[in-house]
């Protein structure tokens, strides 16, 4: 009776009906029985209606919520109106529920305890309390799926079918799929995806650096990020010009791209390059600082300044090569290191290891050159000096400063401000400007070349 009653209640959603409209087999007896059981309400009066067997008189029936109301309805083009009542004034009763399937109950219990699982895994857990086969488990899962009790990690939810099939979870715990992915289980993640999540957890990366770290193609990395992650609520814009040029980060909470299957994995499009970060463990101020500094060099102005810097490095390198070739150093050069990295992993542009006087005296001098294409400010002098004293080879461990046989030189492609000259004088740093470099090169080559003329040629060709 439960199934037939359910069908009748579904038909009655549109309004009251005569029994002939509710089923071909004994509709009058069934409706009367359901009325007396309290599952349906009935019109107060009998009404005449057309029937294939002839004109008849009978009651109209409706869903229990119509009790106590006056309702109008139509049958075969004729309009009717009447008030409806329950049997003997009793209250509405819910239709009897079908007894729950024990296997389905066991599956629901397993999913509520363990989250998202494959059908094989569900079968293994169910077998601990009741014997079942994988085929029966899959059949029960399909029935629960139709009822809406469980959901499946398929293409509609941004998922896919694994080698072991689809993941299943309870409908009320849709985040179970994310938790399963975040567990880094090799059943649900490929090695590359697992490596990416391990590297990003608690960190912030520029995507091209991350790509080199985990050895993955750029297109594949972007695809994984858009599949597992979601675009973060940040965007960058450039403001100011000259020395006032800077990058500002704007927070925007509007809808973003990506599925966000892994809740903490986020990425930001920064002037055409992706920045990947962990939203849960990376502090917001640390992320914004990274976006500002990295965005500076990824912006159009930053790329232009990088081009100038590269041109300046080439010019200075020619300068040093000419000096070496023409024995311009009044010392004996033992070693010339270019772009050298020490234990601190900080790069120094040029390091000359020189011998002073007779070799028997073992007097050595090290000249450290730092080349800067732009304007030299006080903080540049501080940063250079700090890098020197943080390098174990150059540090005086007793005083905490630099060793006494070091000569520090900042070679600038432009000029320097007064604060920079004062700090350099106090710290023992020599500032050499591009005009002095050009004078030396003119004397050695008999050609007069301006660095800015070279810069214009380099940047215009890009």
Average pLDDT, stretch 280-299? 86
Q: Which pLDDT score is estimated for 91?
A: 52
Percent of the chain with pLDDT over 70: 91
What is the 8-class DSSP label of residue 15?
A: S
Average pLDDT, stretch 277-301? 86
Among candidates 433, 429, 440, which has minimal Cα distance to 414? 433
Q: Which pLDDT score is estimated for 244?
A: 80
Answer with the residue of higher pLDDT: 15 or 37: 15
Burial of 48 (0-12, 13-18, 19+ CB in 10 A): exposed
Which residue is listed with tokens 């359901």? 34
Q: Which pLDDT score is estimated for 360?
A: 73
Q: Which pLDDT score is estimated for 99?
A: 46
Domains delineated in the chain: 2-89 (1.10.10), 102-182 (1.10.10.10), 191-298 (no CATH), 303-460 (3.40.1350.10)
Instruction: Count the Cβ atoms, other than its own, within 10 Å of residue 27.
Output: 19
State pLDDT tens for residues 152-210: 887 766 677 777 788 888 877 767 777 877 777 777 778 888 888 888 888 888 888 88
Percent of the chain with pLDDT over 90: 18
Assess whether pLDDT exceeds 70 at residue 7.
yes
Strand order of the β-sheet with 61-62 is: 61-62, 41-43, 78-85, 70-75
Assess whether pLDDT exceeds 70 at residue 290.
yes
Q: What pairing do the DSSP bridges indicate for beta strands 204-206 and 78-85?
A: unpaired
Q: Which pLDDT score is estimated for 24?
A: 61
Average pLDDT, stretch 205-216? 85
Q: Which of 138-147, 194-203, 344-353, 453-462 has the lowest mean pLDDT?
A: 453-462
Average pLDDT, stretch 359-363? 77
Among candidates 216, 142, 156, 451, which has minimal Cα distance to 310? 451
Which residue is listed with tokens 């549109």? 14
Q: Which pLDDT score is estimated for 2?
A: 46
Is residue 429 a contact partner of residue 410, using CB atoms and an 8 Å limit? yes
Is residue 403 a contact partner of residue 394, using CB atoms and an 8 Å limit? yes
Q: Which pLDDT score is estimated for 55?
A: 59
Q: Which of 161-175, 277-291, 335-349 has the lowest mean pLDDT?
A: 161-175
State pLDDT tens for residues 83-130: 999 876 555 545 444 446 888 888 888 888 888 888 888 888 888 877
CB-based contacts of 364, cutoff 8 Å, min separation 6? 334, 353, 354, 355, 356, 405
* DSSP β-bridge partners for residue 347: 341
Answer with the residue of higher pLDDT: 77 or 454: 77
| Highest-pLDDT range among 18-32, 255-269, 289-303, 367-381 | 367-381
Instruction: Name the pLDDT band for 461 (thresholds 50, 70, 90).
Output: low
What angle separates helix 207-214 from helix 191-200, to the nearest 10 degrees?
Answer: 130
Q: Which two tokens stand for residue 455?
A: 């810069």
E strand spans, 242-302: 246-251, 265-270, 273-278
State pLDDT tens for residues 40-83: 899 998 888 876 666 578 889 999 888 889 999 888 888 899 99
Average pLDDT, stretch 123-149? 84
Assess whether pLDDT exceeds 90 at residue 374.
no
Q: Which pLDDT score is estimated for 100?
A: 63
Instruction: Name the pLDDT band for 350 (thresholds 50, 70, 90).
Output: very high
Q: Which pLDDT score is estimated for 96?
A: 47
């Amino acid at each position: 009776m439960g199934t037939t009653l359910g069908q009748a209640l579904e038909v009655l959603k549109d309004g009251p009906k005569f029994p002939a409209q509710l089923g071909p087999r004994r509709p009058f007896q069934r409706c009367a029985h359901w009325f007396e059981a309290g599952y349906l309400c009935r019109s107060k009066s009998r009404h005449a209606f057309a029937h294939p067997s002839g004109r008849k008189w009978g009651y109209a029936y409706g869903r229990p919520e119509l009790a106590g109301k006056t309702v109008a309805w139509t049958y075969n083009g004729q309009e009717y109106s009447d008030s409806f009542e329950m049997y003997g004034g009793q209250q509405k009763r819910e239709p009897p529920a079908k007894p729950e399937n024990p296997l389905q109950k066991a599956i629901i219990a397993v999913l509520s305890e363990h989250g998202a699982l494959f059908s094989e895994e569900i079968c293994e857990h169910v077998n601990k309390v009741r014997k079942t086969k994988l085929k029966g488990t899959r059949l029960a899962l399909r029935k629960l799926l139709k009822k809406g009790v469980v959901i499946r990690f398929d293409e509609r939810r941004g998922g896919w079918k694994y080698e072991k099939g689809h993941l299943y979870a309870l409908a009320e715990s849709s985040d179970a799929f994310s938790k399963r992915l975040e567990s880094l289980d090799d059943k649900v993640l490929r090695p590359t995806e697992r490596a990416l999540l391990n590297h990003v957890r608690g960190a912030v990366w520029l995507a091209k650096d991350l790509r080199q770290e985990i050895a993955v193609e750029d297109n594949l990395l972007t695809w994984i990020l858009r599949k597992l992650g979601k675009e973060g609520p940040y965007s960058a814009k450039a403001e100011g010009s000259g020395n006032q040029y800077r990058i500002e980060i704007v927070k925007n909470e509007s809808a973003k791209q990506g599925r966000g299957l892994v809740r903490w994995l986020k990425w930001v499009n920064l002037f055409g390059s992706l920045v990947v970060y962990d939203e849960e463990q990376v502090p917001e101020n640390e992320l914004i600082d990274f976006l500002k500094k990295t965005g500076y060099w990824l912006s159009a102005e930053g790329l232009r300044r990088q081009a100038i810097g590269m041109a300046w490095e080439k010019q200075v390198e020619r300068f040093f090569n000419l000096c070496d070739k023409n024995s311009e150093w009044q010392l004996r050069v033992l070693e010339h290191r270019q772009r050298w990295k020490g234990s601190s992993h900080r790069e120094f542009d040029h390091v000359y290891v020189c011998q002073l006087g007779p070799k028997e005296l073992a007097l050595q001098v090290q000249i450290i050159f730092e080349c800067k294409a732009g304007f030299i400010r006080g903080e540049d002098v501080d940063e250079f000096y700090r890098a020197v004293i943080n390098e174990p080879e150059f540090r005086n461990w007793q005083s905490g400063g630099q060793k006494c046989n070091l000569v520090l030189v900042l070679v600038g492609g432009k000029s320097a401000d007064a604060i920079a000259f004062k700090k350099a004088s106090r710290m023992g740093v020599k500032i050499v400007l591009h005009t002095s470099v050009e004078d030396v090169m003119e004397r050695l080559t008999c050609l007069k070349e301006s660095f800015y003329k070279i810069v214009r040629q380099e940047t215009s060709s890009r």
